[in-house]
């Protein structure tokens, strides 16, 4: 009876402390593969990863980040908790200003180049300087009383405080970054535990063209070891049960998402059929490691 009570107490303690993925010693790596997972964030199972909680829906302060994965990652950089990395060079770090500048570049590429407006032919025609048609400049000069009558409230700078501040502090639109994300993992068979473990390495935040005409672009990379504490304060909530709220870190460590393999061990995968075949191969490989 005492033994059963101790076991139950240990289980309750583990649940209360939250799930945490065990660490693996390098000497216990019997087999390892680096796998790139593509997570479609618009799929039904993955929508809680980018769910934006309403500001009027109280969560009793349990989670400080309630606007989904992408906003959480960017807010961590904005707060100075960690840095992002350039997708082409791990030695090139990026702060929040660098990320915003890169996002602006993506938006400009979507809108197209505006270099043509520098040419006179593309600009509007200036009024003809003809006094017979327009009248002399003296006729168009307003007196002091007329100027006060035609003046708008903006002339006194009333809107400079609110309007200028709004544009300076305007947050970037994240809709184009909440379509898909890449999670790079190391799948490791631990010979001590005799179990296959998935260890996250880093995220790749992807920009997608809403029109589908431009190719996807990687905004930045975020190392798992840097962002996991930030994901602890970010909310993941079931769409069907408000009581089932977890952190985004738990969601990834418990693998509460659906993904598609797009690269295994440096070998790209070109189709869904091939992705499923490679996944089954890993499952069968793990199964055949056992002997009875």
Look up the pTM and report it: 0.73
Ranking 100-114, 208-222, 270-284 by mean pLDDT, the lowest is 100-114
Average pLDDT estimate for 42-46? 94
Whether residue 15 is predicted with pLDDT greater than 80 in this model: the reply is no
Which pLDDT score is estimated for 143?
56
The better pLDDT of the pair 176, 153 is held by: 176
Mean pLDDT across the chain: 79
Which pLDDT score is estimated for 62?
80
Tens of pLDDT, residues 82-132: 999 999 999 999 999 999 999 999 988 877 754 433 444 343 344 445 444
Q: DSSP secondary structure string, the chain? A: -HHHHHHHHHHHHHHHH---PPP--GGGEEEEEEEEEEEETTSTTTGGGG----TTS--TTS-SB-S-HHHHHHHHHHTTS--EEETTEEEEEE-HHHHHHHHHHHHHHHH---GGGGSGGGSPPPPP--HHHH--TTTT---HHHHHHH--GGGGTTTHHHHHHHHHTPPPP-GGGSSEEEEEEEEEEETTTTEEEEEEEEEEEEE--TTS-SPPEEEEEEEHHHHHHHHHTBEEE-SS-TT-EEEHHHHHHTT-S--EEEEETTEE--SHHHHHHHHHHHHHHHHHT---
């Amino acid at each position: 009876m005492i033994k059963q009570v101790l076991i139950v107490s240990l289980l309750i303690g583990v649940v209360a402390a939250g799930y945490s993925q065990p660490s693996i010693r390098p000497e216990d790596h019997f087999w390892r593969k680096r796998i790139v997972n593509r997570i479609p964030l618009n799929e039904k199972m993955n929508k809680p990863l980018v769910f934006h909680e309403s500001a009027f829906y109280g969560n009793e302060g349990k989670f400080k980040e309630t606007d989904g994965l992408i906003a959480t990652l960017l807010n961590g950089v904005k707060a100075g908790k960690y840095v992002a990395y350039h997708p082409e060079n791990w030695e090139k770090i990026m702060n929040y200003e660098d990320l915003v500048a890169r996002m602006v570049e993506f938006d400009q590429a979507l809108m197209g180049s505006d270099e043509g407006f520098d040419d006179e032919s593309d600009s509007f025609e200036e009024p003809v300087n003809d006094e017979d048609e327009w009248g002399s400049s003296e006729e168009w000069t307003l007196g002091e009383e007329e100027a006060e009558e035609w003046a708008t409230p903006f002339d006194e700078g009333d809107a400079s405080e609110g309007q200028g501040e709004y544009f300076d502090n305007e947050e970037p639109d994240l809709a184009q970054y909440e379509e898909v994300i890449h999670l790079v993992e190391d799948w490791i068979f631990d010979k001590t535990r005799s179990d296959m473990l998935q260890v996250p390495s880093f995220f790749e935040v992807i920009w997608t063209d809403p029109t589908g005409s431009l190719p996807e672009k990687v905004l930045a990379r975020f190392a798992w070891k840097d962002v996991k504490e930030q994901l602890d304060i970010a909310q993941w909530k079931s769409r069907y049960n408000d009581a089932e709220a977890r952190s985004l870190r738990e969601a990834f460590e418990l693998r509460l998402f659906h993904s598609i393999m797009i690269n295994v061990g440096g070998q790209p995968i070109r189709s869904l059929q091939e992705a499923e075949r490679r996944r089954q191969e890993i499952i069968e490989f793990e199964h055949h490691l056992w002997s009875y």
